[in-house]
Structure 1
Amino acid sequence: MSKKHREQHEEHMDESWLVPYADILTLLLALFIVLFASSTLDNQKFNALKESLNAALNSGAGIMDSRNMSELMVDKSQLTQDTIVELQQLKRQMDNYIQENHMNADIETRITDNALTLTIRDRALFDSGSAVVKPESRNIMVAMSDILQQYPKYEVLVSGHTDNQPINTREFESNWDLSSKRAINCMKILLENPSLDPRRLVAVGYGEYRPIADNATVEGRAQNRRVEVMIKQKILE
């Protein structure tokens, strides 16, 4: 090969390796963005982020619009802070009701994962083996509905739970049936408040399968027999 030919060859080297190299950099950037976003964004905005990433990768743009990305982060930060403040306020209202009615031993409130959960011992609501809310206990759910109507942005999940002692009666064939009916009956009392949108509420029975204590002890089984009301901000439409 002549010297002139070698020089021309060197001047026109194959640069196709730059394409996969750029793709790798893009994928790495996308990975870090997704990992960060998954810990800070709600589901709706995370999906929007995912779609933007897919569009960027498919179009070959390689990166997202940094302006849009910062807006997502700021919006989520503000949303989370507002949610926590509102949940703390809601918790104080419920705690005041609990203290005024001397029900501290039967109702517990706690905030976890941007949700407020109220745990109500079954003895505060039902007779043993029954799903009928005791007349004197209806006020618990009525007071709760009065408070919930002040927070229309929140969804409410009412869940029933039992211990692991089997039940087989004319009314309830299993703990699934008992826990489900208890949750539904509590939800029905909440919905007697016409200001509550029924679309916000869900009732579910978990039976014995989500214990919070050891079923081997009397005390543990008593803790597992409960109704939980989880209040969480719904995904914006």
Structure 2
Amino acid sequence: MWKNKRSHGEEHQMDETWLIPYADLLTLLLALFIVLFSLSEIDSQKVEKMANAFNIAFRGAVGVLQYDQMIPTKVPNLTSNPAGSGSQNNFDQKEIERLQAYQQETAQLKKIMEEMNQYIEKNGLTNQLKTSLTNEGLLLTIGEDALFDSGKADILPQARKIAKEISVILEKSFPHEVSVSGHTDNRPIHNAEFQSNWDLSTARAVNFLNVILENKNLSPDKFRVIGYGEYRPVADNNTERGRALNRRVEVLIARMYK
């Protein structure tokens, strides 16, 4: 009698175990239906734009989002959609056109960068000139040793050649604006020629730009000069190596589309 009751209790307990996987299954099904419902509410055009924005940001690499249908070469006619969504369609078309312009601009800047890199390698300047493509545009960094004597702003003879070569490449940057900026380390300077690092950095940028603008194919109104002094360091000023990296001139071909 006692044995029968025990076996019956065990049997009853085993029968209840099916509730746990059943409850898990119901939870998973509920989650699945919620996800499917939410996906049905997403605007496919917005998903496409977001996916393309991520892919562009990652420079064409396999990104966080992949969307089978990329931005078409030809912008679709979105104004033919039903009435009442005209303003949204105009916004969507402008976004697509902006993304296309960004892609084209990036391709143009990459082509200019490749040409600069070829010049740098051909002339053995890899330790003195660097290029990088950033969110701001195409940046060319030129170390002080390639351009000036220490504490001076007069362009060295070999630097004139570099500036002239860069000016020819910059012809292809039109209509982008170009900034030429001077930078120093944090060691103070005070002499008859320069009262501060502001003066030194600005004079170096101006002198370098003057050589670039000897190229009459360039439009001066697209250029500007900036002197940052010691206040935009890229390395630690507590080491000689860091100070050397901070003494530089930068040429930035600014993006028109960001």
> Could you tell me the TM-score, scaled by structure 2's length?
0.66
Q: Which runs of 4+ in 1 moved over 2 A?
A: none
Counterparts of 1:191 and 1:233, CA distance in 2: 20
Match of 1:177 among 199, 204, 210: 199
Pairwise CA distance, 1:109: 0.3
Task: Give the corresponding residue for 2:13.
Answer: none
Query: Is contact 1:154–1:231 with CA below 8 Å preserved after alignment?
Result: yes
Pairwise CA distance, 1:63: 8.3
Is residue 2:96 matched to residue 1:90?
Answer: no
Is residue 2:211 matched to residue 1:189?
Answer: yes
Match of 1:67 among 89, 97, 119: 89
Query: Is contact 1:160–1:228 with CA below 8 Å preserved after alignment?
Result: yes
After superposition, residues 127-138 of structure 1 pair within 5 angstroms as 127-138=149-160
Counterparts of 2:247 and 2:99, CA distance in 1: 37
SS of residue paired to 1:149: helix
Counterparts of 2:233 and 2:136, CA distance in 1: 22
Is residue 2:223 matched to residue 1:201?
Answer: yes
Counterparts of 1:133 and 1:171, CA distance in 2: 15
Is residue 2:134 matched to residue 1:112?
Answer: yes
Counterparts of 2:134 and 2:123, CA distance in 1: 25
The one-character-per-residue Cα deviations of 1:24-58 (angstroms, maximum 9, x if unpaired) are xxxxxxxxx9xx99xx7xxxxxxxxxxxxxxxxxx
Match of 2:171 among 146, 149, 158: 149
> Could you tell me the TM-score, scaled by structure 1's length?
0.71
Query: Is contact 2:141–2:249 with CA below 8 Å preserved after alignment?
Result: yes
Q: Which stretches in structure 2 are left out of the alignment for 5+ residues?
A: 1-45, 54-83
Alignment coverage as a number of residue pairs? 178
Q: Which structure has the larger Rg? A: 2
Query: Is contact 1:84–1:114 with CA below 8 Å preserved after alignment?
Result: no
Measured on the aligned residues, the alpha-carbon RMSD in Å equals: 2.0
Pairwise CA distance, 1:151: 2.4
SS of residue paired to 1:65: helix
Q: Which one-letter code corresponds to 1:110 in the other structure?
A: S
Counterparts of 1:225 and 1:147, CA distance in 2: 24
Task: Give the corresponding residue for 2:145.
Answer: 123
Counterparts of 1:126 and 1:159, CA distance in 2: 14
SS of residue paired to 1:202: strand
Counterparts of 1:176 and 1:126, CA distance in 2: 16
Counterparts of 1:118 and 1:218, CA distance in 2: 22
Task: Give the corresponding residue for 1:80.
Answer: 102
Query: Is contact 2:146–2:158 with CA below 8 Å preserved after alignment?
Result: no
Task: Give the corresponding residue for 1:230.
Answer: 252
Q: Which one-letter code corresponds to 2:134 in the other structure?
A: T
Query: Is contact 2:138–2:252 with CA below 8 Å preserved after alignment?
Result: yes
Pairwise CA distance, 1:85: 0.3
Query: Is contact 1:153–1:233 with CA below 8 Å preserved after alignment?
Result: no
Distance 1:65 1:228, change over 3 A: same
SS of residue paired to 2:177: strand
